[in-house]
Structure 1
Amino acid sequence: MKILFSKALFPNILGITIVLILSGWLMVQAEGNWVFTIAIILFEFLVISIIFMQFYNKYTRPLKKASKTVNEMIRGNYSARFYNGNSEEMEQLSKNINKLARNMNEITIQEQMHAEQLTSIIDNMKNGLVLIDEKGYVHLVNRGFLEMFHGNEKQYRGHLYYDVFQNEAMHDVVQKTFLYEQPVKQQFKNKRGLTKNYMEVIAAPIFNEHNMIKGAVLVIYDITELKRLEKMRKDFVANVSHELRTPITSIRGFAETLKEAQHDEKAAEEFIEIIYKESHRLQLLIEDLLELSRLEREGFQLEKEDFNVKQMIDAVLPSLEQKAEKKELNLATSISSDISIHADVEKLKQVIINLVDNAINYTPSGGDVNLKVSEDEHRVHFSVEDTGIGMEQKVIQRIFERFYRVDKDRSRNTGGTGLGLAIVKHIVEVHQGEIVVDSEVSKGTAIHVYIPKD
């Protein structure tokens, strides 16, 4: 009964009741006058029709519009709106529907943004990403995966993993993930044309709320650079061990010989001289290793200052001239006296000493070694040229590697550590400079170093 007295129905019911009572009273007064009775009935019909039309316009028609707006929202059109102020109830309904539409629109926009962000992150990952469902079908491959293994997305999505993954290691990882229901990691080689890359794949199972496996996600890393660095580390350790073992073995051997047996004075002096040379070589090796370590240390800072290049070279030239003279080489220099530079003077001294010393070591007696310095507007050009044994083109790229020697016997006989050019390269790089090598077998080598003036 409460509904009859609601704001929406009570005025209409009251109006109809009044019309019926009034028309009933008039019909009693008519006393059989059919014309008057018909007129009263028509009047009742007209009044009741007006009441119902008003009710229709005020409630029924707005409800139809509200229903249409809700249907638009169900179809995903959250920009649809409903406005009606015919009654307090319809006005409140329109506000609620429009508020719901705005909230749904905001949620949809946020979801789209999150989806776009997630897609952008997945596609811009350098690593490969694959999503596989519990039946083995591929649902997602990102751009990183396609770059690693080639092909396009259509070749993978919607296909069984063992039909589209060519590498057996990938099959094995997926199978173990589903079998053991725990993360699995494995490394494998991936051939791309003539190149061979090392990959690491980590697969992890995906579970639903009932702890049932629903699929697996695979992340593939290109670890080629890590493998290269690991090989360099192993080679470096092996080379250091070998380079340290050789002088230590000589020192120990001759020391034991001196200790255990009787020798004439001349033989003892020879042994002591060998021990001295090997210990000096060991000292040079350790100093070069420490210098390389300092240059490669993160945060290494050059101690730059303004200085005259000729004065810097004159300070190191006497010892180099003495070594060249002992080997019967002609060491010539061509340096302008007014060239200045803002750089680390001690480090550039090392560059000059190592380059000229290297040229002397690899140039036969009677040959020439030339040190030239020139400048342009922005850089100072240091050039060391020799008429030595030269190198093949394929060797040039390796001479800056640690412990690499073009002629191993010659380098060891001259006391070289195999680290001189590696140190030169690092010093030039920390100065933001450039180093260029020209060489021809049996004709000689020219090494050009360009250092910015400031």
Structure 2
Amino acid sequence: MKKSLFSKPLISYIIGIFLIIFATGAVISQLTSEYIILFSVLIIEFIVLIIMLLHVFEKYVKPIKAATKTVDKLVKGNYRARIHHPEIGSVGELSRKINILARNLSELSFQEEMQEKQLVTVIDNTQSGLVLIDEKGYVHLVNRKFISMFGKNPRDYVGYLYYDVLENERIHQTVQQTFLYEKTVKTSITQTKELEKKYIEIVGAPIFNEKKMLKGAVLVFYDITELKKLEIMRKDFVANVSHELKTPITSIKGFAETLLDGAAKEQETREKFLAIIFEESKRLNLLIDDLLTLSKLEKDEFRLHVTEVNAAELLRDIIPMFKQRAENKQIQLSVNVEQGLSMKVDADRFKQVIINLLANAISYTPEHGEITVTMDETDQSIHVSVADTGIGIPQDALPRIFERFYRVDKTRSRNTGGTGLGLAIVKHIMEVHGGKITVDSELNKGTTFHVYFPKA
């Protein structure tokens, strides 16, 4: 008997599988619906969580990040940075405080910048040279006046050791003594710049911090050239006045004593000695008159008697006074005057200027020489020049010829009968008129003086 293709065990196995599949499908179906619900709940919770996180980020994290960036900008010096997230609560209060801090820092920065500019302006425009040195000897600051005194560029000084860039040994000693003794030290130096001697006083002052510890030194450089010149001029003036007065007084005294000793009995000797005494007294009188004129011109209360005058007529009044003197030395005196020139001037002082210049020209021009007086007009002034073909003036003496009693050739100058004050008087008269005087000269070829009287 043949067995069936599908035996019972196999059928039972297949049926079992179908039952398991069915049961499993039912379970899976049940589980799937529950997973869908769970997944949906999770999705909803995730969305809610994201919304909450976004809310927290927008309300707390983002403002704090903005505050952090703003603070970073403030730390870097950008005091215009602000927080533009209006919030309430603690974060909002923090934002407002940071904005207030930024405004305060901005105002402080502006004030410091203004003060720094003002300080730099004051330092750069002060009439004394300034150098700031730290406790290690490095230069931190130099001002404009110092640069004008010693040249170079601020970059050539700042950041370098003082003894590497300041060449004068006296400056080194001043710095060293300031640090050593921790007190103000004074000294002076001289320097020659463009053939002119400069006198500079140096004051070194120590710098202390709040704990009285030495932190550096400041050097102040005073240009005392003008004061030194005035001091030298005063000394020379006293010495020169004494010398100039002593010479005629000695002559007068000597010849008077000789006459008293019996020389007066001889008519020829008496007349000769009396003539010498008379000439010396005239010279003495001229010297005193010039000194009084200078003294009067230098007084603060001195006033010019200014009137409207015809400049050409004034000059024509002066020339005849010198015609005879020029002819006696066979000097050709020429006058070139532009007609119709008028100006406001003190007529007597104007004449005094021209008289002094012409007197010098005749005195220092040898025989057969030439003197030319020219008067013309510029936009702002009346120009008068007195040119001669005389002995001239050395170039190194030109800056000093307007000093009182200065003589290029003392023996020759004294023999001409001058007091040594003529050009000093001329210069003062031009100064009180608001004009100026210049000179061009070449040794053994001649000299030309130019005076400029303002029209008004």
Pairwise TM-score range, normalised by the shorter structure: 0.7 to 0.9
- Tell me the percent identity: 50
The CA distance in 1 between the partners of 2:43 and 2:337, in whole Å, is 123
Secondary structure of the residue aligned to 1:402 is: coil
Assess if the C-alpha contact under 8 Å between 2:338 and 2:376 holds in 1: no
Assess if the C-alpha contact under 8 Å between 1:132 and 1:215 holds in 2: yes
Q: Bigger shift: 211-220 or 421-430?
A: 421-430
Letter in 1 for 2:435: Q
The CA distance in 2 between the partners of 1:159 and 1:374, in whole Å, is 58
Q: Is residue 420 of structure 1 aligned with residue 425 of structure 2?
A: no
Assess if the C-alpha contact under 8 Å between 2:305 and 2:346 holds in 1: yes
Q: Is residue 102 of structure 1 aligned with residue 110 of structure 2?
A: no
The CA distance in 2 between the partners of 1:72 and 1:335, in whole Å, is 79
Question: Any residues of structure 2 matched to 1:296-375 within 5 Å, and which?
Answer: 296-298=298-300, 301-309=303-311, 311-313=313-315, 315-316=317-318, 319-321=321-323, 327=328, 329=330, 334=335, 339-342=340-343, 343-363=345-365, 367=368, 372=373, 374-375=375-376
The CA distance in 2 between the partners of 1:57 and 1:178, in whole Å, is 61
Change (3 A) 1:303 1:132: same
Structure 2 residue runs without a partner (length 5+): 1-33
Letter in 1 for 2:128: N
Secondary structure of the residue aligned to 2:221 is: strand
The CA distance in 1 between the partners of 2:167 and 2:388, in whole Å, is 53
Letter in 1 for 2:355: I
- Please state how far the C-alpha of 1:232 moved relative to its aligned partner: 3.3
Change (3 A) 1:63 1:409: closer
Give the total of aligned pairs: 416
Letter in 2 for 1:208: N
Q: Is residue 220 of structure 1 aligned with residue 221 of structure 2?
A: yes
The CA distance in 2 between the partners of 1:229 and 1:199, in whole Å, is 15
Partner residue of 1:281?
Answer: 283
Q: Bigger shift: 102-111 or 50-59?
A: 50-59
Q: Is residue 432 of structure 1 aligned with residue 435 of structure 2?
A: yes
Change (3 A) 1:94 1:386: closer
Partner residue of 1:66?
Answer: 67
Structure 1 residue runs without a partner (length 5+): 1-33
Q: TM-score, structure 2 length as denominator?
A: 0.74
Question: RMSD of the TM alignment (CA)?
Answer: 4.1
Change (3 A) 1:146 1:274: same
Question: Any residues of structure 2 matched to 1:26-425 within 5 Å, and which?
Answer: 54=55, 57-190=58-191, 197-258=198-259, 263-264=264-265, 266=267, 267-298=269-300, 301-309=303-311, 311-313=313-315, 315-316=317-318, 319-321=321-323, 327=328, 329=330, 334=335, 339-342=340-343, 343-363=345-365, 367=368, 372=373, 374-376=375-377, 378=379, 380=382, 382=384, 384=386, 389-392=390-393, 394=395, 397=398, 398-425=400-427
Letter in 1 for 2:208: F
- Please state how far the C-alpha of 1:214 moved relative to its aligned partner: 1.5
- Please state how far the C-alpha of 1:104 moved relative to its aligned partner: 0.6
The CA distance in 2 between the partners of 1:177 and 1:371, in whole Å, is 61
Letter in 2 for 1:417: T
Query: Which structure would you say has the larger Rg?
Result: 2
Assess if the C-alpha contact under 8 Å between 2:177 and 2:185 holds in 1: yes
- Please state how far the C-alpha of 1:354 moved relative to its aligned partner: 1.8
- Please state how far the C-alpha of 1:417 moved relative to its aligned partner: 0.6
Assess if the C-alpha contact under 8 Å between 1:428 and 1:435 holds in 2: no
